[in-house]
Chains A and B, each alone.
Chain A
Amino acid sequence: MNIVNFTPVSALTGGLLIGLSVALFFILNGRMIGISGIASNFLVSKNNRVDNFLFLVGLILGPLIYSYTTGKEINISISSSLILLIIGGVLVGFGTKLSNGCTSGHGISGISRFSLRSIIATITFMIVGILTVLITGIL
Chain B
Amino acid sequence: MNKIVSLLCGIIFGIGLVISEMINPEKVLGFLNIFRDWDPSLAFVMIGALIVSTPIFHFFKNKNKPVFSSNFSIPTNKEIDKKLIIGAVFFGSGWGLIGLCPGPAITSIALLNMSSAIFVISMFIGFYLGSKVN
Given the interface pairs A59-B13, A92-B105, the reply to whether A13 lies near B20 with Cβ below 8 Å is yes
On whether the beta carbons of B89 and A58 are closer than 8 Å, the reply is no
- Determine the main DSSP class of A at the interface with B: helix
Tally chain B residues at the interface, Cβ within 8 Å: 117
In the bound assembly, the distance between CA atoms of A74 and B131 in angstroms comes to 33
Q: How far is the CB of A52 from chain B (nearest CB, A)?
A: 7
On whether the beta carbons of B74 and A56 are closer than 8 Å, the reply is no
In the bound assembly, the distance between CA atoms of A90 and B68 in angstroms comes to 35
On whether the beta carbons of A16 and B103 are closer than 8 Å, the reply is no
On whether the beta carbons of A2 and B88 are closer than 8 Å, the reply is no
Q: Chain A: interface residue count, which band?
A: 35 or more
Contact of B74 among A15, A113, A129 (CB under 8 A): A113
Residues of B bordering A, CB below 8 Å: 1-3, 5-27, 29-30, 32-54, 56-57, 60-61, 65-75, 77-80, 83-103, 105-111, 113, 115-116, 118-131, 133-134
